Amino acid sequence: MAKFLNSQSTVRLIKEKNLAQSIQVLERRKPLDLMFPLEGSAHQQQSNLDVPRKSALDRLREAVVLTKDAVKAVSLTAMEALKEGASMIGILTERDELVDPFSHLEAPIWPRDPPVELIRLAYAYCEELTMREAGNFYHSFKYLPDEQRQAMCAVYAFCRRADDIADGDWEDRFPGANGELDQEAMLYREKLEELQNKDTVLDHEHYLEKITQLFFFRKKLSTCYSEVSSTDPVFLALKDAVRRYSIPRQVFDDLITGMEDDLFNNRYHDFDDLYLYCYRVASVVGLMCIEIYGYEDPKARKYAESWGIFMQLTNVLRDIAEDVQRDRIYLPLGELEKNGILPEKLDENVILNPSWEPYVHHYAKRARTYLKEAKQLLPLLPRRSRYSPAAMIAFYDKILRKIERQQGDVFTKRVKLNKIQKLSLAAAVYLRHRFLPGFLNPVWSGLAKFGILPDV
C-alpha cells in the first residue's frame, strides 16, 4: 500500500508571490462578457477591459494546486498498490451500494497516467452515480454518443460532490492529509476569511469541516490541469473529459467558489445578488456542457449562461420549503418585503397571502425571459447533441408550469416529474431535435401551444 508524506511539508510549497498578488478585495462577478441577458432585471456592468481583472479571492483560489513534489511516495506508488489490490476493483457491492473503486489506496495521486482500463472504471463510477442521483439529468443525455455521455456524467459527478459537501453530509476524502489541522488548508482558510470579511452562517464545527473539504476538492481539481492524476474516480474521469473537450478550469473553480460562498451567505437582498449565485452554481454548468456538445458561435456561451439562470431560478422556487428548513432564503428579500411577504413566514401558510400567487407568477415570468434566451442556444449546437439541453429545458419548463398551476404551493408536496413524464419528454425532444425535418417545426410549435408537445 502506498505511503505518502502528509501535507505538513506542503505549506512551504504555497508560493508567497501568489499570495502577495492578492491585493484586490473586490469580489469578482461572473465574466463581464457574459453579463447577459438583461431582460430578467440583472444589473448590467460595462467595462472596456477585454478580460476582467482578477480579485484577491480569484488569485488565492488559483494558487491552490497539487503537484508531484507535494505528494512524494515513501514506498510503493499508487499504481503498484492498485496491482496488489486488483481483486478489490469494482464499483458495486453485493448489496448494490456504490463504492469508490480506489478507496483502498492511501495515495492522493497516480504518479503517471493510469491505464485506460482505470479511466473506464472511473467513468463507470460517474455514470452509475449520475443514474442514481439525477434522473432528470441522466435522461437528458443518455442518448448522446458514448464519449459525450461519459463526459457529461463526469461533469455531473463533480457538481454533485461539490454540492453534497456544501449542502449535504458527504465527507470527501483526501489521502495523506491532516484534515482541519492541515497547515496548508488552515492558511488558505485564514486568507479566505480575511477577504470575505464576514462570518460564516454555519456553526463553527460544520464550517471548519466543509471549508476544509472544499479546499481539498479544489486541490483535486488542479490535477485535471497538471501532469499528475487524482486517485478519486470523479477527478480521474473529469481529467479525461477536460482533455478531450478543452473545458477551461475557471468554470469548475467558479462552481467551487459558489459552494464556498454558500458557507458565508444564507440571504440575498436583491436580484443582482441572486443572479450571481445562480451564475456560479448553474450557469457555469451550462458553460461546461456546451464544450462537450460542441459549438462555433461565441453567442452559445451567452445563451448557456441564460440556460443555467433559468434552471436555477426554477430550483430556487421549487425548493423554498427545503431551503427554509436549512435556514436559507434565496428569494430576494427586497422583493418579498415590497410584496408584503415576510421572510420568516415562508411556510405553507404563505399561500394564503394574497400577494404570494402574483409574486410567483411575476417570478416565473422573469425566469421565462431566460428560458426564451436559453432556447436560442439549441440551433447553435450540433444536431446530434442539441437534444440534451433541450430535454433539460423541457423538464424545468414543465416543473415551472406545475408550480404556477398549483398557485405557488411548493410547501405541501415537492413539485417533480414522475418517471413516465421524464421518459416521454426526453423521447419527444430527442425525436424532434435528432430526426424531425426542419420544415415540420411549425407543426411541432403549433401542437406545443396546445400543450400536446413540449415547447422546445
pLDDT at 456: 87
Determine, yes or no, domain membership for 64.
yes
Percent of the chain at pLDDT exceeding 70? 81
- Distance, C-alpha 41 to centroid of its chain: 23
Q: Is the pLDDT of residue 238 over 90?
A: yes
> Residues 168, 86: one domain?
yes
- Whether residue 385 is contained in a domain is answered as yes
Shared domain check, 209 and 308: no
Is residue 422 domain-resident? Answer: no
Specify whether 234 is located in the same domain as 318. Answer: no
Is 454 within a domain?
no
Instruction: Note whether 281 and 230 are same-domain residues.
Output: no
Is there a single domain that holds both residue 36 and residue 164? yes
pTM of the shown model? 0.82
Q: Are residues 283 and 388 in the same domain?
A: yes
pLDDT, average across residues 295-312 = 97
Could you tell me if 120 and 101 are in contact, meaning their C-beta atoms sit under 8 angstroms apart?
no
Distances (CA, A) of 96 to 90, 99, 256, 413: 11, 9, 30, 29
The pLDDT of 13-19, averaged and rounded, is: 35
Residues 148, 90 share a domain: yes
Mean pLDDT within 228-237: 93
Residues 69 and 194 in one domain: yes
| Residue 255 maps to a domain | yes
Residue 437 lies in a domain: no
Residues 217 and 78 in one domain: yes
How many C-beta atoms surround the C-beta of residue 218 within 10 A? 23
| Residue 152 and residue 131 share a domain | yes
Q: What is the pLDDT of residue 52?
A: 54
Domain identity same for 278 and 311: yes
DSSP category for residue 73: B
Instruction: Please measure the distance between the N-terminal and C-terminal CA atoms of the chain and give it in whole angstroms.
Output: 53
pLDDT band at 406 (very low <50, low <70, confident <90, very high): very high
Residue 423 belongs to a domain: no
User: How confident is the model at residue 66, as a pLDDT?
Assistant: 60
Taking only the tens place, the pLDDT of each residue in 425-437 is 888 888 888 888 8
Structurally, the chain folds into a number of domains equal to 2
173: pLDDT confidence band, cut at 50, 70 and 90?
confident
The 8-class DSSP code of residue 406 comes to T
Shared domain for 154 and 193, answered yes or no, is yes
Give the model confidence (pLDDT) of 305-317 as tens digits.
Answer: 999 999 999 999 9
Last residue of a domain, which of 243, 261, 279?
A: 261
Whether residue 425 is contained in a domain is answered as no
Task: Show the domain range for 170.
Answer: 1-43+54-261
